[in-house]
Amino acid sequence: MSKKPAPDRISAPSVADVAREAGVAPSTVSRALTMPGRIAEPTRLKVEAAARKLGYIVNQTARNLRIGQTRTIMIVLPDELYIGASQTVLEVLRSAAAALTARGYSLVIANVSREAQTDEHILALAFGGTISGVLLMASPVPSIGDRNLLQAGLPLVSLHFDMSAQNVPSVISNDSAAIGEAVEALVGLGHTRFVYIRGRPDNYHDVERLKGVRLALQRCGLPPDELSTMQGDFCFSGGTSAAQRYLALAPQDRPSAVVCANDDTAIGFIKTVLDGGLSVPGDVSVVGFDGAAVGAFMTPSLSTVQQSTAEMGRRAVDLVIGMALGDLPRPPLRTEVPCQLVLRQSVRALPADPS
Amino acid sequence: MSKKPAPDRISAPSVADVAREAGVAPSTVSRALTMPGRIAEPTRLKVEAAARKLGYIVNQTARNLRIGQTRTIMIVLPDELYIGASQTVLEVLRSAAAALTARGYSLVIANVSREAQTDEHILALAFGGTISGVLLMASPVPSIGDRNLLQAGLPLVSLHFDMSAQNVPSVISNDSAAIGEAVEALVGLGHTRFVYIRGRPDNYHDVERLKGVRLALQRCGLPPDELSTMQGDFCFSGGTSAAQRYLALAPQDRPSAVVCANDDTAIGFIKTVLDGGLSVPGDVSVVGFDGAAVGAFMTPSLSTVQQSTAEMGRRAVDLVIGMALGDLPRPPLRTEVPCQLVLRQSVRALPADPS
DNA sequence: TTTGGATTGGCAATCGATTGCCAACGCGAT
DNA sequence: ATCGCGTTGGCAATCGATTGCCAATCCAAA
């Protein structure tokens, strides 16, 4: 407030500077600022005043080096940070970031794609000592040669993918059960013939969701051959190409219910069949997965399975910080956060069959 | 490959360990690994072999402390990381992240919202010595009391907002000119009466885009009172409420062209007027701004002004790294990246007026 | 063989904060 | 006045990598 010590100082003041200003030893400064109670009140106040006067801010790099910890969590994003309508990964990222900063942690993004040298970068970061924990978002464990992220000995939590089998605590949606609910709702509306439009091959979500569809149909007593599948890719384009195949079917051969691996697929599908002259939900009912915000504003509005992204992020952060602090010697391996079915204009009840 | 030195070693190997293994001094190890040419080839190979054998990875914390640099760029995100259809900020973030990691930099996210203590956190990070530069995304300069981010003396680049007046190099879209093009296109299609649905008050983009609309109408020779404005908020809800006001107008009083501050606004507007029984573009033509990917899959598909997000991210990274390395003593204060007008089904030509 | 210059590699200081250890000090009790 | 205990604060080592400086070494030229 009074006068600035140095408006454009090159090097920031250090504990030594503060100590000199306050007339005490550097160790006293450090303790005064970080160990309440360890230093007598009058001395502490003197130090605090000196620190404020000099505009002292602790050098985190030096601090981290000394204490061997960083309060920094690394986030590994999926192969491809696809930007479409489904933004589950981003929503979880937002919630995790909020939870982390609220607890005084920083967050570094390790990657936004997954090219050749990306895993190397991730591992260098993990082994470089700047990281206190890792959040793995919808990603396999980064590895290079015979070295992988698990060996870094860092607290590690998987989001979206269930890796409990590999002993990695996982925070996941109940993909299979949730999509099953959607299928049961469609059966309840009179649908008996289904298409499932798949995501990328070998993807965890695709496998789980397809499984959920199959199980639900079985529970409803429908024979397995009432379900056909079409290949998709979790993107608009996958929905579009599946729709073209759907349109190519003879009208009476078209299943009345289409369940999609995610919202983008559903959106691509709907747009294409509408352009092809069909009505949604008049001719075909469509359900997506993820709960993209824009779904409510599509025409027709999109039925979907809403993931609880905010809670997933929070839970994962609780886990990884707990592990980093050693509070969780045996973290739960599976934390399942339930989804919520949202039925909108894109589905309708089938008129009772007179036959 | 042969046998692991210690599968669960507590402390990672240091230069000292490598030096012992290779039979040289620590300084030699350091130089061998970071200064090509400084160390004779045979020695260098010996060191490299030892490092590989021990699985040595440099401790970045120590390295950063010593060299007083971090190759880490901090990203400050907007007040609210709104997740809707318009994802400009996220697209730019993705592109910037890709450019940064490609150049060996790390990226820390300072914040995902802007609460009371957020700015404190941002400044602590900035002054804490762990940061080499800052990318400010659609955000004002964080400050707390009489201390602000500018005083940290860090390379700083603004994205989305033009802060060249405050001497901050800015990478921006040509908001005003681009939306002007859209307006001119609509005038070219025969539209003469316009509504502009605004974003949040005092927002940079809102101001620029409204200005662009006004200037374009003026250029086209239309009187200012052919433009009315409605309040929005950059979200679906803003479009929705504006649409309700639009529907409340007598049909002959409804302007035939609606220009929205962004795509989310347009999407909310379209959905609501469609539900209200109007046709788009039959009764009203609508244009958004941002180029949300999902726009192409709406019904009708959304006309918009596409921002070149990928290029913006790259440009900003080039700037901030150049400044950090001292390569850019006088960085350009304004880098304007042009947008591209995309006309889709949501606009149509007005039939020639017989009167 | 000697000399000069270039190359190589080691020693030790340094970055800034933290912390184990201990000396000094104060205070109350004997 | 002395002792003993608890409190306070200083000294110096430490975290791990980098780098200025210099000694040792080598090679070619004289």
Angle, in degrees to the nearest 10, between helices B236-248 and B263-275? 40
Query: A259-294, pLDDT tens digit by residue?
Result: 999 999 999 999 999 999 999 999 999 999 999 999
CA angle B314, A83, B232 (to 5 degrees): 95
More confident residue, B7 or B310: B310
Residue A136 β-bridge partners: A76, A158
More confident residue, B109 or B309: B309
What does the alpha-carbon distance between residue A209 and residue A262 come to, in Å, rounded to a whole number?
A: 10
Nearest CA in chain A to B95: A112
Mean of the per-residue pLDDT values of chain A: 89
| Band of residue B352 on the pLDDT scale cut at 50, 70, 90 | confident
Distance from CA of B87 to the nearest CA of A (A): 8
> Does the structure show a pLDDT above 50 at A152?
yes
**Choice among B27-31, B123-127, B130-134, B218-222 with the minimum mean pLDDT:** B123-127
What's residue A70's pLDDT?
Answer: 86
* Contact flag A147-B55 (C-beta cutoff 8 Å): yes
Element containing residue A41 per DSSP (H, E): helix A41-54
> Does the structure show a pLDDT above 90 at A150?
no
User: How confident is the model over A326-336, as a mean pLDDT?
Assistant: 89
Interatomic separation, CA of residue B296 and C1' of nucleotide D1, rounded (Å):
95
Sort out which chain A residues have CB atoms less than 8 A from B299's CB and list them.
270-271, 274, 298-299
Mean of the per-residue pLDDT values of chain B: 89
CATH 3.20.20.220 fits domain A72-173+309-338: no
Strand ranges inside chain A, DSSP E? 72-76, 106-109, 133-137, 143-144, 147-148, 156-159, 170-173, 194-197, 227-230, 257-260, 285-287, 304-306, 334-337, 340-342
What's residue B116's pLDDT?
Answer: 65
Nearest CA in chain B to A67: B61
What's residue B130's pLDDT?
Answer: 83
* Contact flag B97-A112 (C-beta cutoff 8 Å): yes
Task: Pick the closest to residue A58 from A24, A34, A23 (CA basis).
Answer: A34
Nucleic strand C within 7 A of Cβ A26 = yes
Query: B45-96, pLDDT tens digit by residue?
Result: 888 899 888 888 888 889 988 988 888 999 998 877 667 888 888 889 889 9
Residue in A105, A297, A299, A304 to test binding to B, most B beta-carbons within 10 Å: A297
More confident residue, B124 or A198: A198
More confident residue, A61 or B171: B171
Of A59, A91, A97, the CB nearest to B83: A91
Sort out which chain A residues have CB atoms less than 8 A from B292's CB and list them.
294
* Contact flag B111-A128 (C-beta cutoff 8 Å): no
State which amino acid sits at residue A232. Answer: G
* Contact flag A55-B101 (C-beta cutoff 8 Å): no
The answer to whether residues A60 and A104 touch, using CB atoms and an 8 Å cutoff, is no
DSSP secondary structure of A202-270 = T-HHHHHHHHHHHHHHHHTT--GGGEEEE---SSHHHHHHHHHHHHHS-GGGS-SEEEESSHHHHHHHH
| Band of residue B1 on the pLDDT scale cut at 50, 70, 90 | very low
What nucleotide is nearest A68 when CA is compared to C1'? D15
Sort out which chain B residues have CB atoms less than 8 A from A268's CB and list them.
297
* Phi, psi (deg, nearest 5) at residue A65: -60, -45
What's residue B123's pLDDT?
Answer: 83
| Band of residue B7 on the pLDDT scale cut at 50, 70, 90 | very low
What does the alpha-carbon distance between residue A240 and residue A264 come to, in Å, rounded to a whole number?
A: 10
What does the alpha-carbon distance between residue A14 and residue A11 come to, in Å, rounded to a whole number?
A: 9
A72-173+309-338 matches A175-307 in fold: yes
Sort out which chain B residues have CB atoms less than 8 A from A151's CB and list them.
7
* Contact flag B57-A268 (C-beta cutoff 8 Å): no
DSSP secondary structure of B7-36 = TT-SS---HHHHHHHHTS-HHHHHHHHH-T
> Does the structure show a pLDDT above 90 at A43?
no
What's residue B353's pLDDT?
Answer: 61
Interatomic separation, CA of residue A40 and C1' of nucleotide D1, rounded (Å):
29
User: How confident is the model over A231-248, as a mean pLDDT?
Assistant: 96
More confident residue, B36 or A256: A256
Percent of chain B with pLDDT over 70: 95
State which amino acid sits at residue B307. Answer: Q
The answer to whether residues A269 and A243 touch, using CB atoms and an 8 Å cutoff, is yes
Q: If one looks up domain B175-307 in CATH, what number appears?
A: 3.40.50.2300
* Contact flag A112-B101 (C-beta cutoff 8 Å): yes
Query: B292-335, pLDDT tens digit by residue?
Result: 999 999 999 999 999 999 999 999 999 999 998 878 878 999 99
Report, in angstroms and rounded to the nearest whole number, the Rg of chain A calculated over CA atoms.
Answer: 27
- Tokens describing residue B350: 């007005």
Q: If one looks up domain B15-58 in CATH, what number appears?
A: 1.10.260.40
User: How confident is the model over A226-244, as a mean pLDDT?
Assistant: 96
Nucleotides of C under 7 A from a protein CB: 7-12, 14-20
- Tokens describing residue A270: 């709907």
What's residue A246's pLDDT?
Answer: 97
What's residue B11's pLDDT?
Answer: 64
Nearest CA in chain A to B7: A151
CB pairs under 8 A between A and B: 160
What does the alpha-carbon distance between residue B118 and residue B126 come to, in Å, rounded to a whole number?
A: 12
Strand ranges inside chain B, DSSP E? 72-76, 106-109, 133-137, 143-144, 147-148, 156-159, 170-173, 194-197, 227-230, 257-260, 285-287, 304-306, 334-337, 340-342
Nucleic strand C within 7 A of Cβ A58 = yes
User: How confident is the model over A155-163, as a mean pLDDT?
Assistant: 95
Distance from CA of A15 to the nearest CA of B (A): 13
CATH 3.40.50.2300 fits domain B72-173+309-337: yes
- The reply to whether A116 touches chain B by the CB within 8 Å rule is no
What's residue A185's pLDDT?
Answer: 97
More confident residue, B273 or B94: B273
What does the alpha-carbon distance between residue A287 and residue A301 come to, in Å, rounded to a whole number?
A: 10
Q: For residue B295, what are the contacts with CB-CB under 8 A and spacing of at least 6?
A: B85, B263, B267, B288, B301, B302, B304, B342, B344
Query: B173-187, pLDDT tens digit by residue?
Result: 999 999 999 999 999
What's residue A11's pLDDT?
Answer: 63
DSSP B125: H
Distance from CA of A224 to the nearest CA of B (A): 32
Parse chain B into domains and list their residue ranges: 15-58, 72-173+309-337, 175-307
* Contact flag B299-A274 (C-beta cutoff 8 Å): yes
What's residue A245's pLDDT?
Answer: 97
Angle, in degrees to the nearest 10, between helices A26-34 and A41-54? 100
Segment 5-24 of chain B within 8 Å of chain A by CB:
7-8, 12
| Band of residue A101 on the pLDDT scale cut at 50, 70, 90 | confident
